[in-house]
Structure 1
Amino acid sequence: MIVWLNGPFGGGKTQTAYALHRRLPGSAVCDPEHVGFGLHRMLPPALRGDFQDFPAWRRGVFEVLDLAGREHPGVVIVPMTVTDTGYFAETVGRLRERGHDVRHFALLAERGTVLRRLRERGWGRGLRRESFAVARLDGCLEALEAPEFAEHVRTDRIPVAGVAERVAARSGLELTADTDSALRAWARRALVGVRHVRLD
């Protein structure tokens, strides 16, 4: 099974992915952003745009996830925002056509909730560091409400562990018990956030 977590930037995809990974023995997180970052690093900064616009990104994501889905014995978890229906068809759609059991979830929240999360992960620089995410927020939220991007999971008033549990339940997956204290859960989220800070 491939569990694809879609949603706006700052919507909780990565945190939920790692919460699932921790409680799904044998699972793996495969992050398509790494393909995009590699493409960006090959280009002079002035030529870098949205890496999803590169056909090489869409082909690469499909090929890597096709391999992981065929050869990895556990659940493959994919945290990635995709709002263009054509790009969605070239990634999620192609994987399904290839025979993969792809469970897709759009993690949605109110605009204010997402802005607060982006501000919190700005590491003291507020929303300036997240200007890319803020500029695309409204269009992203609107696009993901469309039925093509179901299932929808509202995350405004649910902790990360609860979102992971909801996704797992809808996917027919059984999670191990969540034994984290509130402090340990906060520390885990902080560590995931630090590990996913982009420096370029």
Structure 2
Amino acid sequence: MLVWINGPFGGGKTQTAHELHRRLPGSVVCDPEHVGIGLHRTLPASLRGDYQDLPTWRRGVAEVLDLAASRWDGVVLVPMTVVEPEFLDQTVGELRRRGHDVRHVALLASATTVRRRLRERSLGRALAAATARSGCAPGESFALARVEHCLDRLRGAEFAEHVTTDDLGVAQVAERVAGVCGVDLLPRSGPVRGAVQRRWTALRHVRLR
């Protein structure tokens, strides 16, 4: 099984994927953002934009995840925001056409909640610095600027299943996703250990490109 965890930037995809990974023995996290970062680093700065607009990214993600899902015995967890129906079809849809059991879950929340989470994680400034070279206004966060657009797109039927996360903690969100996908999780970590694990996950995934 491959579980694609969609959602807006700041919607909790990465934290949810790693919570599932900790509580789902044999699972692995495969992050398509690494493919995009590699493409950015290969291109001159003046040619860098949204890497999802590159057909190479969409084809590459489908190929890499096809390999992972074919060769890995456990569940493959994929945290990635994709809000264009065409791009969803070229990634999730392509993997399904290749015969894989792909479960797609979109994490939704109010725009206010998503913005608060972005600021709390200090991702606003980090993403602004990362995207200032790709055409955003100076100091503007790409993530914050696209909150409404992402949420509007992800509410569409083609992006179901939907899990609303406003009033849920990370462990609860992971449990909802596991329920949708029909997998059983190990018990939660204690509150202190869980908080440390989530903080470490957040620190590892703040990237300045």
Q: TM-score range by the shorter chain?
A: over 0.9
SS in structure 1 of the partner of residue 117 of structure 2? helix
Whether contact under 8 Å (1:118, 1:126) holds in the other structure is no
SS in structure 1 of the partner of residue 202 of structure 2? helix
SS in structure 2 of the partner of residue 118 of structure 1? helix
Shift of 1:199: 2.1
Question: Partner of 1:84 in structure 2?
Answer: 84
Aligned pairs (5 A) from 1:64-75: 64-75=64-75
- With normalisation by structure 1, the TM-score equals 0.96
Whether contact under 8 Å (1:103, 1:171) holds in the other structure is yes
2:104 counterpart letter in structure 1: H
CA 1:34/1:123 → structure 2, altered by over 3 Å: closer, same or farther?
A: closer
- Alpha-carbon distance between aligned partners in 1 of 2:123 and 2:20, rounded to the nearest angstrom: 25
Which structure 1 residue ranges, 5 or more long, are not aligned? Answer: none
**1:141 lines up with 2:151 in the alignment:** yes
Aligned pairs (5 A) from 1:101-116: 101-116=101-116
Which structure 2 residue ranges, 5 or more long, are not aligned? Answer: 130-139
- Output one character per residue of 1:132-186: Cα deviation in whole Å (capped at 9) or x when no partner: 10111111000000000000000000110001011111111011111x2222111
Whether contact under 8 Å (1:12, 1:107) holds in the other structure is yes
Aligned pairs (5 A) from 1:12-161: 12-122=12-122, 125=125, 131-161=141-171
2:181 counterpart letter in structure 1: S
CA 1:61/1:125 → structure 2, altered by over 3 Å: closer, same or farther?
A: closer
SS in structure 1 of the partner of residue 39 of structure 2? helix
Question: Partner of 1:172 in structure 2?
Answer: 182
Could you tell me which of 192, 196, 201 is aligned with 1:192? 201
CA 1:111/1:98 → structure 2, altered by over 3 Å: closer, same or farther?
A: same
- Alpha-carbon distance between aligned partners in 2 of 1:2 and 1:101, rounded to the nearest angstrom: 6
- Output one character per residue of 1:23-44: Cα deviation in whole Å (capped at 9) or x when no partner: 0000000000000000000112
Runs of 4+ in 1 over 4 A off after TM superposition: 123-130
**1:183 lines up with 2:195 in the alignment:** no
CA 1:127/1:61 → structure 2, altered by over 3 Å: closer, same or farther?
A: closer
| Farther off after superposition, 22-31 or 40-49 | 40-49
2:78 counterpart letter in structure 1: V
Whether contact under 8 Å (2:124, 2:144) holds in the other structure is no
- Alpha-carbon distance between aligned partners in 1 of 2:16 and 2:58, rounded to the nearest angstrom: 23
Whether contact under 8 Å (2:36, 2:51) holds in the other structure is yes
Identity %: 62
CA RMSD of aligned residues (A): 1.5
